[in-house]
């Protein structure tokens, strides 16, 4: 039988005790990253950090770094900078990925302000700024003794989710007083995620004056060897695609999962998005829609590679209508999903 225990008033700290911030719970949204500008050196710094990550390029640095710092980074920053410039927010001087991720954090913070006033929501980038260590330090300094890391990757991959966690844990290793850390689980098959995607896609499709003959669901590519080594990413993508087609009740013969953004000579996960789009145009498909549900926020790979590059390729090949369907971003449905995921992962902490 439970006995009522009197609640004692907190004791006053000694006069010489270090100042302590009020105890809070933190949430850190983590996305991939973005350069600080579209100029050569900004893009080079970003690509150097990104492509030096051994979770991303699984080669020994002795072999890879001379190639990266020499051949790759002497050419690629200029080409990537031009691509970034085509989608850059020149008024705020930032990429769409940075702007959207910030709005996602601000939207969540506003939602939680009244129902969970002791919850602090922040955001960070694995590569570039604001960095994961800097934002974890800021959360700790404002009193967060418990922090949820929420990598914004629905489908798990060592090259995305794992490296974000690696960076957070490296920061924790340097701390005298470590906060308790949790990591949000991949949500590739969460019914709320599938429904949010489906509703967002239907809303976008309803704005079109035409009906797509084919619907492509495009995920960021990974080298084929990652699948052979046991990475679950390919399986997660396929399951998301299958559940999404079931939710939409879309005909199987008009629906296909593809993979984009490959580079280098290695074989990547197939079928390739660019080759598929070219083949569909050659086959006489005239109306095509594409969505990229592996991204929580629109970015270079969606706004430039898909919405601009693949559209041009499809129309040049004989297609007549092409539509890119946007990511969930900071839409009400997108924020609903993030709020549900945060509340689920913080069970027992709030």
For residue range 102-143, what is the model confidence (pLDDT) as tens digits? 999 999 999 999 999 999 999 999 999 999 999 999 999 999
Q: Which residue has the higher pLDDT, 50 or 14?
A: 50
Same fold, 24-187+332-345 and 191-325: yes
- Domain ranges for the chain: 24-187+332-345, 191-325
**Residues 6+ away with beta carbon under 8 Å from 106:** 121
For residue range 168-217, what is the model confidence (pLDDT) as tens digits? 999 999 999 999 999 999 999 999 999 999 999 999 999 999 999 999 99
Residue pointed to by tokens 């694995």:
126
Residue 19 has pLDDT above 90, yes or no: no
Q: What is 191-325's CATH number?
A: 3.40.50.1400
For residue range 335-345, what is the model confidence (pLDDT) as tens digits? 999 999 999 99
DSSP H stretches of helix in the chain: 40-51, 61-67, 73-85, 96-115, 132-141, 163-173, 191-205, 224-228, 233-248, 273-283, 311-316, 332-345
- Is 206 among the annotated ligand-binding positions? no
Give me the percent of the chain exceeding a pLDDT of 70: 94
Which CATH architecture is the domain 24-187+332-345 placed in? 3-Layer(aba) Sandwich (3.40)
Q: Which residue has the higher pLDDT, 3 or 85?
A: 85
For residue range 276-288, what is the model confidence (pLDDT) as tens digits? 999 999 999 999 9
Residue 16 has pLDDT above 90, yes or no: no
Burial of 221 (0-12, 13-18, 19+ CB in 10 A): buried
- Is 301 among the annotated ligand-binding positions? yes
pTM recorded for the entire structure? 0.93
């Amino acid at each position: 039988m439970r006995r009522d225990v009197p609640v004692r008033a907190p004791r006053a700290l000694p006069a010489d005790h270090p100042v302590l911030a009020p105890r809070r719970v933190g949430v850190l949204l983590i996305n991939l990253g973005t350069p600080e500008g579209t100029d050569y050196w900004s893009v080079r710094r970003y690509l150097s950090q990104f492509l030096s990550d051994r979770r991303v390029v699984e080669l020994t640095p002795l072999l890879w770094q001379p190639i990266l710092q020499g051949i790759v980074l002497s050419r690629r920053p200029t080409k990537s900078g031009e691509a970034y410039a085509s989608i850059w927010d020149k008024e705020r001087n930032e990429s769409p990925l940075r702007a959207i991720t910030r709005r996602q954090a601000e939207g969540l913070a506003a939602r939680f302000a009244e129902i969970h006033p002791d919850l602090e929501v922040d955001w960070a980038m694995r590569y570039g700024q604001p960095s994961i260590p800097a934002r974890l330090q800021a959360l700790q300094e404002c009193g967060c003794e418990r922090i949820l890391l929420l990598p914004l990757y629905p489908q798990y991959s060592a090259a995305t989710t794992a490296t974000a966690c690696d960076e957070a844990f490296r920061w924790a290793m340097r701390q005298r007083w470590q906060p308790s850390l949790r990591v949000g689980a991949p949500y590739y098959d969460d019914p709320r995620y599938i429904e949010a995607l489906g509703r967002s896609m239907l809303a976008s499709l309803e704005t079109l004056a035409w009906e797509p003959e084919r619907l492509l669901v495009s995920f960021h590519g990974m080298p084929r060897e990652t699948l052979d080594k046991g990475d679950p990413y390919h399986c997660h993508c396929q399951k998301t695609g299958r559940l999404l087609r079931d939710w939409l009740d879309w005909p199987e013969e008009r629906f296909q999962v593809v993979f984009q953004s490959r580079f280098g000579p290695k074989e990547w996960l197939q079928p390739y998005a660019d080759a598929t789009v070219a083949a569909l145009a050659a086959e006489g498909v005239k109306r095509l829609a594409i969505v990229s549900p592996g991204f929580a926020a629109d970015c270079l790979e969606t706004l430039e590679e898909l919405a601009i590059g693949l559209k041009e390729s499809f129309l040049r090949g004989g297609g007549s209508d092409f539509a890119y369907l946007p990511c969930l971003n900071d839409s009400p449905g997108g924020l609903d999903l993030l709020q549900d995921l945060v509340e689920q992962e913080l069970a027992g902490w709030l």
